[in-house]
């Protein structure tokens, strides 16, 4: 598709997705997230032509102008919408599908110093909330949503919603996912919480046993008192208080 046709397509997609957009002229002049995508298309062409230094210089210029740092080697799909733009980072081997929405502060980053594919693959129609971090060579399935501030370290199935640090699935295919095992959250404190819960259960069992043992000596006395009360109730039919005075 010709470059200017892609620009028109991008503007129309923002007009459809952003309720704050009032006109196409406003989108053209006031949306740095789109400028970053357009600059990247040029720098990516230079990168593929092996003009690597020139591509990097252009990407840094785009970063200065828009606040978005997209490596020239990243692959971006059609109609990518980076809303508010500032602080977005997309790494060299990242792959972003079509109709993806990314908010400010999002990082599609790598882990470690290995070579090869080390950045995420984000499939079509994914929504990524602000300040979310998607790290490593993982895949976020199509139609999924990543909650704001989440840290995604593992693959996300299609049609899912993930939240948290580290991120875990809360919705899948429109159905609520209930977590009954703390290990499923994979939180660094999960083991400590599980150990604490086990300790509380053990203490409750021990206290229950001690209460039972402590109550045992009084059981016989309570039985005697009950028998005495029953005997008094039977005698009350024949004995009048004060009789013979």
- Considering only residues 230 and 91, tell me which one the structure prediction assigns the higher pLDDT: 91
Q: What is the mean pLDDT of the chain?
A: 85
Please say whether the beta carbons of 139 and 156 come within 8 A: yes
Please say whether the beta carbons of 96 and 114 come within 8 A: no
pLDDT per residue over 33-51, tens digit each?
999 999 999 999 999 999 9
Name which of 185, 169, 166 is nearest 177 in CA terms: 169
pLDDT per residue over 50-102, tens digit each?
999 999 999 999 999 999 999 999 999 999 999 988 999 999 999 999 999 99
Query: Which pLDDT band holds residue 235 (cuts at 50, 70, 90)?
Result: low
**Which three-class secondary structure state does DSSP give residue 121?**
strand
Neighbours of 6 (CB within 10 A): 15
Span between the terminal Cα atoms of the chain, in Å: 120
Query: Which pLDDT band holds residue 217 (cuts at 50, 70, 90)?
Result: low
* Strand ranges inside 37-150, DSSP E: 69-70, 75-76, 81-82, 89-90, 95-96, 101-102, 107-109, 121-122, 127-128, 133-135, 139-140, 145-146
Asked if the model's pLDDT at residue 5 lies above 60, the reply is yes
What does the pLDDT average to over 212-231? 69
H or E, element range at 162 = strand 160-163
Q: What is the pLDDT of residue 223?
A: 76
- The Cα–Cα gap between 15 and 129 comes to 19
Please say whether the beta carbons of 30 and 15 come within 8 A: no
The DSSP secondary structure of 37-55, one letter per residue, reads HHHHHHHHHHHHTT-HHHH
pLDDT per residue over 129-142, tens digit each?
999 999 999 999 99
pTM, to two decimals: 0.73
94: Cβ–Cβ under 8 A, 6 or more apart, which residues? 71, 74, 75, 108, 119, 120, 121, 122
- The Cα–Cα gap between 126 and 173 comes to 14
CA dihedral 143, 147, 153, 158 (to 10 degrees): -20
Q: What is the pLDDT of residue 166?
A: 87
Asked if the model's pLDDT at residue 157 lies above 50, the reply is yes
Q: What is the pLDDT of residue 184?
A: 62
> Could you give the percent of the chain with pLDDT greater than 90?
58
- Considering only residues 128 and 225, tell me which one the structure prediction assigns the higher pLDDT: 128
């Amino acid at each position: 598709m010709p470059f200017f046709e892609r620009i028109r397509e991008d503007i129309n997609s923002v007009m459809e997705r952003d309720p704050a957009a009032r006109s196409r002229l406003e989108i053209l002049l006031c949306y740095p997230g789109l400028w970053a995508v357009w600059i990247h298309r040029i720098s990516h062409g230079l990168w593929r032509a092996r003009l690597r230094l020139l591509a990097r210089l252009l990407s840094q210029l785009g970063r200065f102008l828009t606040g978005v740092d997209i490596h020239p080697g990243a692959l971006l799909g059609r109609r990518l919408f980076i809303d508010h733009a500032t602080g977005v980072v997309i790494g060299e081997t990242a792959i972003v599908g079509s109709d993806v929405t990314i908010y400010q502060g999002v990082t599609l980053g790598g882990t470690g110093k290995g070579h090869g594919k080390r950045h995420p693959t984000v499939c079509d129609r994914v929504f990524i909330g602000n300040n979310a971090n998607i790290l490593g060579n993982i895949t976020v399935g199509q139609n999924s949503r990543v909650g704001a501030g989440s840290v995604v370290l593992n693959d996300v199935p299609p049609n899912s919603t993930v939240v948290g640090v580290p991120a875990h699935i809360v919705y899948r295919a429109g159905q609520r996912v209930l977590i009954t095992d703390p290990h499923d959250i994979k939180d660094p404190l999960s083991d400590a919480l599980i150990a604490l819960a086990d300790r509380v259960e053990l203490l409750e069992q021990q206290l229950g046993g001690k209460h039972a043992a402590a109550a045992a000596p009084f059981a016989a006395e309570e039985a005697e008192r009950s028998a005495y009360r029953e005997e008094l109730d039977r005698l009350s039919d024949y004995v009048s208080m004060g009789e013979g005075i």
